[in-house]
Amino acid sequence: AQKVTQAQTEISVVEKEDVTLDCVYETRDTTYYLFWYKQPPSGELVFLIRRNSFDEQNEISGRYSWNFQKSTSSFNFTITASQVVDSAVYFCALRGGNSGGYQKVTFGTGTKLQVIP
């Protein structure tokens, strides 16, 4: 069975602060995909990033960056200089893997980020 843990239920930061959202996963598969999605107050789910298990390069996209470490089974998400528009629920998800044909998807319980002006 696969599992995704987002231990931070809610985080509040003041605008312009940096914030890191944690994601820890468990899987027996050697090949899998990890994702981050954003759910703003309007409710839709927005894809942010995908990372496959054989690519441990960190990625930066504007104020967003992601740190993938297989050794600690973590895929953390950092927002630099947070803005009010970053206020949302963020979900980490795992799609594994070589044993099951990449069919099952497991989401974490989400981290609600509130950016205070």
Closest CA to 52 of 62, 63, 38, 66: 66
> What is the closest distance, in whole angstroms, from the C-beta atom of residue 39 to other proteins in the complex?
9
Least distance from other proteins to the Cβ atom of residue 94, Å? 11
Query: Phi and psi dihedrals of 43, rounded to 5?
Result: 105, -15
- Do 115 and 82 meet the contact criterion of CB atoms below 8 Å apart? yes
Question: Pick from 3, 11, 58, 50: which is nearest to 27 by CA?
Answer: 3
State CA 23 to chain mean position distance: 6
Binds other proteins (CB under 8 A): choice among 14, 17, 28, 45? 45
Phi, psi of 32 (to 5 degrees): -160, 170
Q: Confirm or reject binding of residue 64 to other proteins (CB under 8 A).
A: no
Told to check if 97 binds other proteins by CB under 8 A, we report no
State yes or no: residue 41 binds other proteins (CB under 8 A).
no
CB of 81 to other proteins, least distance (A): 26
Which of 64/107 has CB closer to other proteins? 107
Question: Which residues are near other proteins by CB under 8 A?
Answer: 6, 9, 33, 35, 37, 43-45, 47, 50, 52, 91, 93, 95, 101-110
